[in-house]
């Protein structure tokens, strides 16, 4: 391995090849703390050519690569296994915004650009890059593309795959595919760009991307709404769509347990409503500077929701600071649940019409498996996507760990029976690779394996992730 390390140092400079545990620590443990591996080296290339040289050297040495962006992934796909034989390729130094074209509505970036920096570059050009995640201050565009990330703007703008036009990718053998086309129309064969989106680092290292920009939406009307049930939330979604049309930008749900954790663990958080409710919805309308009437539209939605029994109370943001405070209640849930203790995450999606019945019945099933288990349920109800995350009964983290397999199997079996998906937006990573394959048909798994073998015959690109 000394030869490989020498080649890597030649490729990127000796100071960008990290081998000491003290230096590699932050790159080998994931955000959840569940996956802690070891790396032969962490390599930090500064350009596409350097990535290509690193991948070529690893390919020639037969050493596996783990691509990594901001290391905010929630399924352990961006960190190495425990062997100490894998090389982490961190894109963290590739942060160049290559081009912004507001008229064409495109931005071209290095894959290591942090999502918030893409949003800021778009905003500086008078445009919107709509993707929005709680991790946006750390996650990278490469990671967003590799996981096909979702977030709170999917309802209006779609998943990451709907926001990308072209990619630049270093293939597993070190060749560079330049697919950086900024075209809305290109019917010239298989869609290779989309093949790499959601591939979780198993088909190549994404080094650059052309992304879509949209008209800016500087006007907002935002409310935190108490709703009696998931059923009511889904009906309220229909009302909001009817009244607000394309202005409906966000429709997020959280249960009381989730809010309680935020109030307990997030400094400065406070309940905007006087009476507790079992469920809440964060609803936001967004529009261009010429779009008046958003506040009136929101009030009309809430008024009819109260009349129809779909909402019991609401707090409407009267200032940007109040808007941020309402958003913090939603975006703070992951962090608050982590502070609370052991968490068992489930990122599921079902047909929206079935969500309410599913949530009620699975709650009862899980309580039989581990009495007192706390479902911290929240997410993108407008997309049919719930984060059905479990916290232990107070003080019983070990019981949650002991029951984890049974709890997760019960959830996944019921999601599969309901024709849903066990990973709506976080991917399969290491956590769900085996489960992902077991809930797909043999034909589908065979096709995925064939694609993997065609692009990465040596199996060196993120082995153990996505496909078991």
* 387 touches, from ligand 2HG, ligand FAD, none (C-beta below 5 to 8 Å by class): ligand 2HG
* 412 touches, from ligand 2HG, ligand FAD, none (C-beta below 5 to 8 Å by class): none
Phi, psi of 42 (to 5 degrees): -110, 125
Under rule CB under 6 A, residue 431 binds ligand 2HG:
no
Give Cβ neighbours of residue 346 (< 8 Å, ≥ 6 apart). 387, 388, 389, 390, 408, 411, 412, 422
Q: Footprint of ligand 2HG on residues 249-278 (CB under 6 A)?
A: none
Phi, psi of 7 (to 5 degrees): -60, -40
Under rule CB under 6 A, residue 422 binds ligand FAD:
no
The closest residue (CB) to ligand FAD is 143
Residue 448, classified by CB atoms within 10 Å of its CB into exposed (0-12), middle (13-18) or buried (19+), is middle
Question: Which residue, 50 or 200, has its beta carbon nearer to ligand FAD?
Answer: 200
Q: Which of 387, 430, 432, 452 binds ligand 2HG (CB under 6 A)?
A: 387
Q: Footprint of ligand 2HG on residues 117-176 (CB under 6 A)?
A: 134
* 286 touches, from ligand 2HG, ligand FAD, none (C-beta below 5 to 8 Å by class): none
Kindly give the pairing relationship between strand 106-110 and strand 127-128: unpaired
Q: Which of 37, 45, 77, 208 binds ligand FAD (CB under 6 A)?
A: 77
Question: Which residue, 183 or 264, has its beta carbon nearer to ligand 2HG?
Answer: 264
Pick from 388, 400, 466, 389: nearest CA to 431: 466
Question: Which residue, 199 or 423, has its beta carbon nearer to ligand 2HG?
Answer: 423
Q: Are 296 and 287 in contact (CB under 8 A)?
A: no
Q: Give the span between the Cα atoms of 424 and 397, in whole angstroms.
A: 26
Under rule CB under 6 A, residue 426 binds ligand FAD:
yes
Under rule CB under 6 A, residue 428 binds ligand 2HG:
no
3-state secondary structure 211-277: EECEECCCEEEEEEEEECCHHHHHHHHHHHHHHHHHHEEEEEEEEHHHHHHHHHHCCCCCCCCCCCC
Q: Which of 16, 144, 148, 389 binds ligand 2HG (CB under 6 A)?
A: 389
Tokens of 468: 């078991």
Question: Which residue, 48 or 239, has its beta carbon nearer to ligand FAD?
Answer: 48
Alpha-carbon 250 to chain mean position: 16
Q: How far is the CB of 89 from ligand FAD (least distance, A)?
A: 8
Under rule CB under 6 A, residue 74 binds ligand 2HG:
yes
Under rule CB under 6 A, residue 200 binds ligand FAD:
yes
Q: Give the span between the Cα atoms of 44 and 413, in whole angstroms.
A: 41
Site string for ligand FAD, 103-142 (x = CB under 6 A): --------x---------------------xxx---xx-x
Q: Give the span between the Cα atoms of 465 and 462, in whole angstroms.
A: 6
Helices (H) and strands (E) in the chain, counts: 16, 19
What one-character DSSP code corresponds to residue 108? E
Under the rule (CB under 6 A), what is the footprint of ligand FAD? 31, 66-74, 77-78, 91, 111, 133-135, 139-140, 142-144, 146-147, 149-151, 200-201, 205-206, 334, 425-426, 429, 462, 465
Under the rule (CB under 6 A), what is the footprint of ligand 2HG? 74, 134, 334, 345, 379, 387, 389
């Amino acid at each position: 391995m000394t030869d490989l390390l020498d080649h890597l140092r030649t490729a990127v400079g000796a100071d960008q090849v990290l081998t000491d545990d003290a230096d590699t620590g932050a790159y080998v443990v994931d955000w959840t703390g569940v996956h802690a591996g070891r790396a032969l080296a962490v390599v930090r290339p500064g350009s596409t050519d350097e990535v290509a040289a690193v991948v070529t050297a690893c390919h020639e040495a037969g050493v596996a690569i783990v691509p990594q962006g901001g290391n905010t992934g929630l399924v352990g796909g961006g960190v190495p296994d425990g062997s100490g034989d894998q090389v982490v390729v961190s894109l963290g130094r590739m942060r160049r915004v290559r081009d912004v074209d507001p008229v064409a509505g495109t931005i071209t970036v290095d894959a290591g650009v942090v999502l918030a920096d893409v949003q800021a570059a778009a905003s500086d050009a008078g445009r919107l890059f709509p993707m929005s995640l709680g991790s946006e201050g750390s996650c990278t565009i490469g990671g967003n593309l590799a996981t096909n990330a979702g977030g709170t703007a999917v309802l209006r703008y779609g998943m990451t795959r709907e926001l990308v036009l072209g990619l630049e990718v270093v293939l597993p053998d070190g060749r560079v595919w330049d697919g950086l086309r900024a075209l809305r129309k290109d019917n010239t064969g298989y869609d290779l760009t989309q093949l790499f989106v959601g591939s979780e680092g198993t088909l190549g290292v994404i080094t650059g991307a052309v992304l879509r920009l949209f008209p800016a939406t500087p006007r907002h009307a935002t409310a935190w709404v108490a709703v009696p049930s998931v059923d009511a939330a889904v009906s309220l979604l229909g009302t909001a769509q009817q009244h607000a049309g394309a202005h409906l930008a966000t429709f997020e749900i959280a249960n009381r347990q989730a809010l309680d954790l935020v109030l307990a663990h997030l400094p400065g958080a406070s309940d905007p409503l006087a009476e507790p409710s079992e469920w809440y919805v964060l609803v936001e309308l967004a529009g261009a500077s010429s779009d008046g009437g958003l506040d009136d539209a929101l009030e009309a939605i809430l008024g009819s929701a109260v009349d129809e029994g779909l909402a019991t109370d609401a707090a409407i943001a009267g200032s940007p600071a109040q808007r941020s405070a309402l958003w913090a209640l939603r975006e703070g849930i992951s962090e608050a649940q982590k502070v609370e203790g052991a968490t068992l995450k489930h990122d599921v999606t079902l047909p929206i019409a079935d969500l309410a019945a599913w949530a009620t019945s699975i709650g009862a099933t899980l309580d039989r498996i581990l009495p007192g288990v706390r479902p911290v349920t929240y997410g993108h109800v407008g997309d049919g996507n719930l984060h059905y995350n479990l916290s232990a009964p107070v003080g019983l983290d070990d019981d949650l760990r002991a029951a984890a397999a049974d709890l997760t199997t019960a959830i996944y079996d019921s999601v599969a029976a309901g024709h849903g998906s066990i990973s709506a937006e976080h991917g399969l990573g290491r956590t769900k690779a085996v489960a992902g394959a077991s809930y797909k048909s043999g034909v589908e798994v065979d096709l995925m394996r064939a694609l993997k073998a065609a692009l990465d015959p040596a199996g060196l690109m993120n082995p153990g992730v996505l496909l078991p």
